[in-house]
């Protein structure tokens, strides 16, 4: 899209920005201000930070006579961009009772109006290309935060003994999405011959820098499961004493289980009538046919070992997803899938210049790659080459697993 399609740009911008506000709609101001743990951020912070991105990286650069909406916001709502300057400590985002939710809404409206004016006014081919690239990145960044809003809200509401629902099951969410792509009764193995394969983004569309460059890699013949592991299958591992068998767990994982006193997936609860789990619709009986979610890499790895299999590498996953046709179910739209691959740069990777280059590259340490996408990932946001990444102990994201061997 070129800037002469100003109307198209504005429509796309407004649609994505409106989708973020819609996620906050069922929540009270109190809901939006609280932070349940250092890894999660308040909804109010997400609403402000995504706006800060457009103000800092686009308006500050392109707007004539730029003035910030509020001079303090540059520090308050910076996440991790050291090149931009100071930032507020991440674990203290929930202490920002000011600005109020109403002020953050006003901040969004102000920046949205200024972006719309800018899109219709920018002249010069270089400025067009540069602005188009930054707008695209800003909107992709906002979509990432849309999923984070859902995961962070779920974690927050789960801390409440009343098990409040974020929204009713009728308005969409976890159950509605699972039913959209039901798993076949039994998982089957799909074989791939591998060989010298191409991995990484190809084509004209948008991708993040960590998906490049496309490169050749060798993949030995392998098999991958046709669908994700279900709650029922994972429950068998729990009830077989899987969490108590040190032979199944990596040493660091075993220490993690012990330190955190973990004996089941996040949000699972053992009750007299059986197992239940906290969902976006409140506390629900565990659905045995739904994909198991909220697993750490440690748990996914231990389950795979118990099942006589392993996690796929990210190259195997991408190769299978690219060449499977309809043979693999639930590639996206259910939950993210752990791989056994450390999050590392592809051969020849170069981050972008300046603060924007801090987007992905500097996180390439002590994280594992997840592939696919979840029911909370905005439609059209993911690709087969998309590389999500989290530390091995992270469980609050919608993370599950697919077996390989």
pLDDT tens-digit readout, 36-82 = 999 999 999 999 999 999 999 999 999 999 999 999 999 999 998 99
Which pLDDT band, with edges at 50, 70 and 90, does 156 fall under? very high
What is the model's pLDDT at position 1? 46
Lowest-confidence region among 146-160, 171-185, 347-361:
171-185
Residue intervals in the chain for CATH 1.20.120: 6-160
Predicted pLDDT of residue 311: 98
Q: Is pLDDT at 122 greater than 90 in this prediction? A: no
Dihedral (CA of 144, 146, 152, 154) sign: negative
pLDDT tens per residue across span 337-346: 999 999 999 9
Where along the chain do the CATH 3.90.1580.10 domains lie? 171-400
Helix (H, G, I), strand (E, B) or coil at 258: helix
Look at residue 178 in the predicted model and tell me its pLDDT. Answer: 47
Q: Taking Cα atoms as reference points, which of 299, 347, 335, 330 lies closest to residue 199?
A: 347
Nearest to 192 by CA among 156, 218, 165: 218
Cβ density class 364-388: b for 16+ within 10 Å, e for less? eeebbbbbbbbbbbbeebbbbbbbb
Q: Say if residue 174 is exposed, middle or buried (CB neighbours under 10 Å; 0-12, 13-18, 19+).
A: buried
- Residues 257 and 245 sit within 8 Å (Cβ to Cβ): no
Across the chain, mean pLDDT equals 94
Helix (H) or strand (E) holding 8, with range, is helix 6-24
For 180-197, write each residue's pLDDT tens digit: 455 557 899 999 999 999
Got the DSSP string for 207-224?
Answer: --GGG-S-EEEEE--EEE
Instruction: Grade residue 177 by pLDDT with cuts at 50, 70 and 90.
Output: low
pLDDT of 3 strictly over 70: no
Residue 394 in tokens? 């992270």
Can you give the pTM of this predicted structure?
0.95
**Who wins on pLDDT, 32 or 123?**
32
Q: Is the pLDDT of residue 169 over 60?
A: yes
CATH topology for 171-400? 3.90.1580
Distance CA 241, CA 383 (A): 37
Closest by Cα among 402, 222, 224 to 330: 402
User: What is residue 261's three-state secondary structure?
Assistant: coil
> Could you give phi then psi for residue 261, rounded to 5 degrees?
55, 55
Please state, in angstroms and rounded to a whole number, the distance separating the CA atoms of residues 47 and 326: 37
Q: What is the pLDDT of residues 347-360, one digit of tens each?
A: 999 988 887 888 88
Residue 334 has pLDDT above 50, yes or no: yes
pLDDT band at residue 230 using 50, 70 and 90 as cut-offs: very high
Indicate the pLDDT class of residue 114, thresholds 50, 70 and 90. Answer: very high
Report the percent of the chain where pLDDT is more than 90.
86
Q: State the pLDDT at residue 246.
A: 98
Q: What is the mean pLDDT of residues 146-155?
A: 98
Which helix (H) or strand (E) is 341 found in, with range?
strand 336-342
CB atoms within 10 A of CB 289: 13
Instruction: Indicate the CATH number for domain 6-160.
Output: 1.20.120
Give the C-alpha separation, 328 to 319, whole Å.
Answer: 12
CA dist., res. 372 & res. 374, Å (int): 7
Report the C-alpha gap between 67 and 70 in whole angstroms. Answer: 8
């Amino acid at each position: 899209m070129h800037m002469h399609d100003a109307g198209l740009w504005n429509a796309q911008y407004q649609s994505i920005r409106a989708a973020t506000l819609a996620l906050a709609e069922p929540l009270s101001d109190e809901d939006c201000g609280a932070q349940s743990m250092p890894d999660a951020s308040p909804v109010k912070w997400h609403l402000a930070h995504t706006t800060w991105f457009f103000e800092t990286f686009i308006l500050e650069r392109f707007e004539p006579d730029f003035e910030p909406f509020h001079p303090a916001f540059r520090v308050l709502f910076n996440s991790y961009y050291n090149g931009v300057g100071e930032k507020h400590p991440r674990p203290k985002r929930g202490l920002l009772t000011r600005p109020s939710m109403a002020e953050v809404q006003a901040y969004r409206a102000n920046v949205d109006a200024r972006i719309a004016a800018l899109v219709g006014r920018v002249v010069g081919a270089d400025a067009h290309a540069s602005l188009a690239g930054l707008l695209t990145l800003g909107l992709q960044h906002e979509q990432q935060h849309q999923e984070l809003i859902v995961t962070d809200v779920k974690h927050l509401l789960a801390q409440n003994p009343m098990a409040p629902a974020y929204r009713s099951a009728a308005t969409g969410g976890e159950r509605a999405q699972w039913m959209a792509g039901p798993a076949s009764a039994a998982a089957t193995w799909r074989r791939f011959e591998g060989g010298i394969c191409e991995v990484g983004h190809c084509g004209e569309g948008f991708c993040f820098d960590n998906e490049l460059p496309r490169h050749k890699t060798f993949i030995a013949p392998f098999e991958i499961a046709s669908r994700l592991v279900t709650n029922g299958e994972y429950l068998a591992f729990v009830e077989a004493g899987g969490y108590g068998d040190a032979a199944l767990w990596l040493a660091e994982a075993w220490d993690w289980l012990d330190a955190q006193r973990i004996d089941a997936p996040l949000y699972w609860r053992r009750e007299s009538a059986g197992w239940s789990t906290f969902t976006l619709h409140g506390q629900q009986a565990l659905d045995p046919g739904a994909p198991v979610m909220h697993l750490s890499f440690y748990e996914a790895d231990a389950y795979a070992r118990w099942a006589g299999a392993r996690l796929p590498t990210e190259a195997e996953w991408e190769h299978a997803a690219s060449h499977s046709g309809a043979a693999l179910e639930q590639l996206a739209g259910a939950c993210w899938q752990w791989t056994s691959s450390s999050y590392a740069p592809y051969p020849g990777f170069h981050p972008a210049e300046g603060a924007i280059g801090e987007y992905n590259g500097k996180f390439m340490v002590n994280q594992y790659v997840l592939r696919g996408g979840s029911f909370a990932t905005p439609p059209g946001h993911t690709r087969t080459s998309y590389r999500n990444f989290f530390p091995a102990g992270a469980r609050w994201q919608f993370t599950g697993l697919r077996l390989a061997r």
